[in-house]
Structure 1
């Protein structure tokens, strides 16, 4: 194995990657040899990268271990071993030692929020890694050809979230009133506190109620979120109690989903929702407007008031 620190021999004789990198494995048997190159990447991202005065800084311990090395405190500093390669450095000092030779780091390692950060460029000197900073996502990429690992910053998650949210972000902070949503009390007040994307490309809308309770919606596609806020059957973008000064008895019926004679069109619409079909007929000098619902309920109006209910 060209770089033994990148591979662990298992009890059954198989090899398991021990770090991110690229190494060549040669098997010889009976005078015959066969070589294969193995590239190992890290699927999950590491944390706490940041850019300081143009220098890419990464957490020393987690990166060293992710690259197959060992990390230990020694002589008041840190010693990292990658097979025969040995790197020694100290926080606050730009002087380091690589394989017994002094080298100067691009900037001194520093402690930030309890994490020792080291300039990522040192892994180019020690291991031949390519270091890059993704300005769009504010993250560091360390690679050996097609073997890669990514170290995100404290800003990365927010940037990705904002990109996934797209135009949905405009709904955050808006206030709505429940019409028929998640079994919540009708006409109770909700504020959109966040819209969270998941790993399936769907979104959960997070609301805060008037009492401070957090309410989480079911997962929805982007188009469904837009429809949720546009369709009055689920949420209202106005306070119905302020818009309509109806009696307490009328509101009680509406909240219970009931319709009674004498109700107005607005009251019926709030109680039962939008009809599936409408029909207008004229007879006896009167204009009769009839609403039909998908459950076969029917209500008729004359002069805007209910005169007939069929359920």
Structure 2
């Protein structure tokens, strides 16, 4: 329970009698007070979809709350919990003093505008234990306790490591969800995704549902679910377009490429789409001839070779 001065409690009760919607009448003129002291900030509050947002760093600084950035994930240190959030994403992870992990989806996330973070008042109320009171003439009172207390309960090596891992996972989940939402239709970059194999590569995959880096997709062959461990893996696995759609090659050539085959007479571009980029390229030339060798290694190829002439077409294939 937060201890606040009796005067502030009386103020809170008086202001709470006034409907919050009355504060929305003037969307450009808000004055924020924290524990009856005016918030000094060069960034003004704003309203979006009837939700009032206030500059987060200014509020935290006013209350001497510590916060730090974990490569794009903000850690807010509350005396009784640690919050991990990513701007413009509704995912949040938080820990209590016993280090139990909680994951929630925010109805109104922290947002970024012109490189400034803004927190909705409802976020401060629900997760940072602040009381909000709305007064006349655009006055907003934020009533808070003593947030300058340390978080020594979370400062052991093991707990710090747990928090850092959770921050990395939150970042991955948030970035993955942004990727899925922006790209509901994808194309596989190979003939397999995880343990799922397809008849052809560059097949269309439609996003059915997702939660963080875990996604369910469907194609003409099957529906399947896979959990990715990094954005790099996601971007290696999927293309956001059909790489063959812009070429006027006949359907026989495209079908051969989708099946992962290379044939005599194919161009370097066709060969690359079928087999990918080579591990090595060796070039041999003389006064009378030119030959280029592409070397493919690994379990899929077992040292296979493609040979091209001076026109850039496949002349020989060695498996």
Asked if TM exceeds 0.5, the reply is no
Q: TM-score range by the shorter chain?
A: 0.3 to 0.5
Bigger radius of gyration: 1
Taking structure 2 as the reference length, the TM-score comes to: 0.41
What is the TM-score when the length of structure 1 is the normalising length?
A: 0.42
Larger RCO: 1 or 2 (CA < 8 Å, sep 6+)? 2
Structure in which a larger fraction of residues adopt helix: 2
